[in-house]
């Protein structure tokens, strides 16, 4: 039986899976470009009120698109946040989704349903460029000098050009379609997170070799030295393949632009994870000094430049109008994340967290409430939306956009929020879950943080992470800075919100 699927936003009734055709015979499906920043906080962009740094390219998208004020990453660190976005499943349902090492095996299993595979089924060519941080290879084959599989291809990306983990973790190389780029077979790459390679100097023993950045005091980041920066993990070899930190934005942005150029004739889905503004922050010399905030501020300018390059590529090819661009961040901001880059000292009155409390790693809202802009001139009216939205819904919302019916086992926690993402529904989700060292939920004006024991994550103190053995309840309508815990005065609210969390934990599927 053929199903008739109605595309609410495209205004076209179609038969079968996908067959949206405009009068000229070309596909009318919008391209989708997701620009996922690393560690950019709610208050880091001028569209969100920053004044010590200007982000004109992001601001252009914000003023011609919808800028969200109540949008959430699923987790307060990268790996669980990205896992949730690409699978539509809360990362806390799986124990192995914490911050991944650079030699982690593929975390999303090839047999899992994924967002990029759904997009492929909807007729898109899919690509991932930039930060990956979801592991690669498996126990049987993690051959750094050969073909690393499973990897992005097995999860639904036709093309990949990635950094395996983070800028501060080895191996410091790019992988294009799951092979190291520019590798000299006579100088193979070796990677270990267990023990150093004999003869390779380490940051902790050779501070004089750390000519670009030194680690913060009492901190890790003191192992392999690559380009005058010590990292987490050990590596040896691959000299010709090593990235240059100051060129990362240029390298990955040019690959993102090349992907757009190559696929401009047909619908494409590009997932572009920037390295900015994660540590080590080493912006290209042309961005240095663009702000008075040192490397962290200049990295925000570099991020904005990358966004500008993507916009320019779409515009040049006449496809900006019918491309959905989503700009957001994987988690909230951190100022000192392990290197002596003077970010704390030069911050001045810049507030990376905006009016919120906490930051990266934190259960307080700055950990996960992030900038979120959706730009789609062809179908959306510009504006500001306070709708409660979460990155967990990208999967089901893009599926709905393309008339894709989700299989039973796909995207268990992802809801179709297309109407709120396109600015039409001003309410959004009934509740949003957030993951840090504990779980939190926001519903209406209320934010509840589950009681938890645990140590604060460096560089935070327990007061900043929001990890507390007592239940916490905040009335965000009066207290967006989560200063006054009103749990004791509102036992019914506490019971209601804690029941939501219990229910989500106990039911493997919430969509
Ligand atoms: C932490 C690192 C931090 C950063 C983070 C991952 C220490 C003490 N801190 O473990 O520097 O790399 O992991 O950041 O090593 S994320 O944005 O990719 O989640
Ligand atoms: Ca991050």
Span 315-332, average pLDDT: 98
Q: Model confidence at 461, in pLDDT bands (50, 70, 90)?
A: confident
Average pLDDT, rounded, for the chain: 94
Interval 122-146 mean pLDDT:
96
Choice from 130, 278, 329 to test ligand 1 binding pocket (greatest atom count within 8 A of CB): 278
Q: Is 135 in the pocket of ligand 1 (CB under 6 A)?
A: no
| Closest ligand by atom to 36 CA | 2
Quick one: pLDDT at residue 233? 98
pLDDT score at 46: 98
Q: How far apart are CA 100 and CA 107, in angstroms?
A: 9
Burial of 154 (0-12, 13-18, 19+ CB in 10 A): middle
Q: Would you say residue 429 has pLDDT above 70?
A: yes
Using the mean position of ligand 1's atoms as its centre, give its distance from the Cα of residue 509 in Å. 30
Residue 422: both structure tokens together: 């396109």
Question: How far from 462 is each of 256, 331, 345, 453, CA to CA, in Å?
Answer: 39, 18, 22, 10
Q: How far apart are CA 273 and CA 35, in angstroms?
A: 6
- What does the pLDDT look like over 349-389, one tens digit per residue? 999 999 999 999 999 999 999 999 999 999 999 999 999 99
Tell me what the mean pLDDT of segment 145-174 comes to: 98
Task: Give me the helices (H) in 3-143, please.
Answer: 56-64, 78-87, 115-121
Give me the helix-helix angle, 56-64 and 294-316, nearest 10°.
50
Probe residue for ligand 1, chosen from 172, 337, 370, 456 as the CB with the greatest number of ligand atoms within 8 Å:
337
Identify the nearest ligand to the CA of 332 by its number.
2
C-alpha 475/C-alpha 471 separation (Å) is: 14
Query: What pLDDT, on a 0 to 100 scale, did the predictor assign at position 26?
Result: 58
- Ligand 1 atom nearest 279 alpha carbon: 11
In the structure encoding, which two tokens stand for residue 496, read together?
């209601």
pLDDT of residue 217: 86
Judge contact between 401 and 323, C-beta under 8 A. no
More confident residue, 461 or 510: 510
CB atoms within 10 A of CB 116: 23
State both tokens at 105: 């095996």
Cβ contacts of 141-146, under 8 Å, gap ≥ 24: 142/103, 142/105, 144/171, 144/180, 144/188, 144/189, 144/190, 144/191, 144/238, 145/180, 145/183, 145/185, 145/188, 145/189, 146/179
Residue 307 CA to ligand 1 centre (angstroms): 24
Backbone dihedral region for residue 289 (phi beyond 0: left; psi -120 to 50: alpha; all else: beta): left
SS3 (DSSP) at 68: strand
Q: Note the residue count of the chain.
A: 511
Is the minimum distance from the CB of 99 to ligand 1 under 6 angstroms? yes
pLDDT (mean) for 136-149: 94
Name the pLDDT band for 311 (thresholds 50, 70, 90): very high
Pocket flag, ligand 1, residue 166 (CB < 6 Å): yes
Per-residue confidence (pLDDT) for residue 28, from 0 to 100: 87
Cβ contacts of 199 within 8 Å, gap of 6 or more: none
- For residue 303, give the H/E element and its range: helix 294-316
User: Using CA of residue 407, residue 412, residue 414, residue 416, what is the dihedral sign?
Assistant: positive
- Taking the C-alpha atoms of residue 134 and residue 152, their distance in angstroms, rounded to an integer, is 9
CA of 470 from ligand 2 middle (Å) equals 27
Residue 22: CA atoms inside 13 Å, Cβ hemisphere, count? Answer: 10
pLDDT-derived band at 18 (thresholds 50, 70, 90) equals very low
Confidence at residue 9, expressed as pLDDT on a 0 to 100 scale: 39
Q: Which ligand 1 atom is at minimum distance from the Cα of 99?
A: 19
Round to whole Å and give the CA distance between 105 and 86.
16
Per-residue pLDDT tens over the stretch 254-277: 999 999 999 999 999 999 999 999
82: confidence class by pLDDT, cuts 50, 70, 90: very high
Ligand 1, atom 13: nearest CA belongs to which residue? Answer: 99
Lowest mean pLDDT among 10-19, 55-64, 336-345, 434-443: 10-19
Percentage of residues in the chain having pLDDT higher than 70: 95
| Shortest-distance atom of ligand 1 to CA 221 | 15
Atom of ligand 1 nearest to the CA of 133: 18
232 lines ligand 1 (CB under 6 A): yes
Tokens of 470: 């007592």
Of the two residues 140 and 235, the one the predictor is more confident about is: 235
Which alpha helices (H) appear in 169-229, and where do they start and end? none
Decide: 464 in ligand 1 pocket, CB within 6 A: no
Site to substitute for ligand 1 among 229, 232, 328, most atoms within 8 A of C-beta: 232
Asked if residues 355 and 480 have their Cβ atoms less than 8 Å apart, the reply is yes
What is the structure's pLDDT at 4? Answer: 34
Stretch 304-332: mean pLDDT: 98
CA distance 471 to 501: 13
Q: How far is CA 310 from the centre of its chain?
A: 17
* Best of 132, 168, 219 for a ligand 1 pocket test (most atoms within 8 Å of beta carbon): 168
Residues 280, 25 contacting (CB under 8 angstroms): no
Q: If pLDDT is split at 50, 70 and 90, which confidence band does 24 have? A: low
Distance CA 338, CA 133 (A): 18
* CA-based max dimension of the chain: 71
How large a percentage of the chain has pLDDT more than 90?
Answer: 90
E strand residue ranges, 260-342: 268-273, 323-329
Structural contact between residues 260 and 22, judged by C-beta atoms closer than 8 angstroms: no
Strand bridging mode 12-15 / 4-7:
antiparallel
**Nearest residue to 170 via CA among 138, 152, 197:** 197
Instruction: Note the pLDDT tens digit of each residue in 32-52.
Output: 999 999 999 999 999 999 999
Q: List pLDDT tens digits, range 181-234.
A: 999 999 999 999 999 999 999 999 999 999 999 999 877 899 999 999 999 999
- Collect contacts of 439-444 with beta carbons under 8 A, ≥24 apart: 439/92, 439/501, 439/505, 440/363, 440/368, 440/466, 441/497, 441/500, 441/501, 442/70, 442/72, 442/365, 442/388, 442/476, 443/496, 443/497, 443/500
Q: How remote is the CA of residue 132 from the centroid of ligand 1, in Å? A: 14
pLDDT of 55 above 70 = yes
**Structure tokens given for 134:** 């979801």
Q: Measured between alpha carbons, how far is residue 53 from residues 70, 81, 292, 326, 405 in Å? A: 22, 26, 8, 21, 43
Residue 78: CB within 6 Å of ligand 1? yes
Q: What is the pLDDT of residues 325-350, one digit of tens each?
A: 999 999 999 999 999 999 999 999 99
Q: What is the model's pLDDT at position 455?
A: 75
| Distance from the alpha carbon of residue 403 to the mean position of ligand 2, in angstroms | 32
């Amino acid at each position: 039986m053929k199903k008739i699927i109605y595309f609410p936003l495209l205004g076209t009734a179609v038969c079968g899976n996908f067959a949206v055709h405009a009068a000229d015979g070309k596909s009318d499906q919008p391209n989708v470009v997701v620009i996922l920043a690393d560690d950019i906080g709610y208050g880091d962009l001028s569209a969100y009120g920053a004044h010590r740094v200007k982000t004109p390219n992001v601001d252009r998208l914000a003023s011609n698109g919808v800028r969200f004020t109540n949008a959430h990453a699923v987790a307060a660190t990268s790996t669980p946040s990205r896992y949730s976005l690409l699978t539509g499943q809360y990362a806390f349902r799986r124990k192995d989704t914490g911050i991944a090492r650079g030699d982690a095996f593929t975390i999303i299993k090839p047999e899992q349903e994924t967002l990029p595979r759904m997009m492929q089924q909807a007729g898109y060519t899919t690509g991932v460029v930039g930060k990956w941080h979801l592991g690669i290879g498996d126990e049987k084959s993690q051959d750094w000098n050969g073909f690393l599989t499973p990897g992005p291809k097995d999860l639904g990306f036709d093309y990949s050009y990635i950094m395996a983990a983070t800028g501060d973790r080895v191996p410091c190389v790019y992988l294009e379609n799951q092979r190291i780029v520019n590798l000299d077979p006579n100088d193979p790459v070796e990677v270990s997170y267990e023990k150093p390679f004999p003869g390779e100097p380490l940051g902790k023993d050779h501070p004089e070799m750390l000519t670009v950045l030194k680690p913060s005091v009492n901190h890790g980041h003191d192992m392999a030295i690559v380009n005058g920066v010590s990292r987490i993990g050990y590596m040896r070899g691959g000299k010709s393949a090593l990235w240059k930190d100051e060129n990362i934005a240029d390298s990955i942005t040019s690959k993102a632009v090349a992907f757009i150029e190559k696929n401009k004739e047909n619908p494409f889905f590009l997932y572009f994870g920037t390295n900015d503004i994660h540590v080590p922050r080493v912006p290209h010399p042309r961005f240095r000094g663009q702000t008075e905030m040192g490397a962290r501020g200049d990295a925000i300018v570099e991020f904005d430049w990358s966004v500008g390059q993507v916009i320019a590529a779409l515009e040049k090819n006449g496809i900006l109008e019918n491309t959905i661009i989503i700009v957001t961040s994987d988690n909230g901001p951190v100022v000192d994340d392990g290197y002596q880059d003077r970010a704390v000292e030069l911050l001045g009155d810049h507030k990376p967290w905006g009016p919120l409390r906490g930051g990266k790693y934190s259960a307080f809202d700055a950990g996960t409430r992030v900038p979120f802009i959706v730009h789609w001139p062809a179908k959306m009216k510009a504006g500001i939306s306070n709708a409660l939205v979460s990155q967990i819904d990208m999967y089901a919302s893009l599926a709905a956009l393309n008339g894709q019916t989700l299989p039973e086992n796909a995207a268990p926690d992802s809801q179709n929020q297309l109407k709120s993402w396109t600015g039409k529904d001003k309410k959004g989700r009934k509740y949003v879950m957030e993951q840090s060292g504990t779980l939190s939920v926001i519903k209406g004006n209320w934010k509840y943080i589950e009681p938890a024991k645990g140590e604060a994550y460096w560089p935070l103190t327990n007061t900043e992470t929001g990890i507390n053995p007592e239940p916490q309840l905040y009335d965000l309508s009066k207290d967006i800075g989560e200063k006054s815990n009103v749990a004791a005065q509102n036992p019914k609210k506490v019971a209601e919100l804690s029941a939501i969390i219990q229910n989500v934990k106990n039911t493997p599927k919430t969509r």
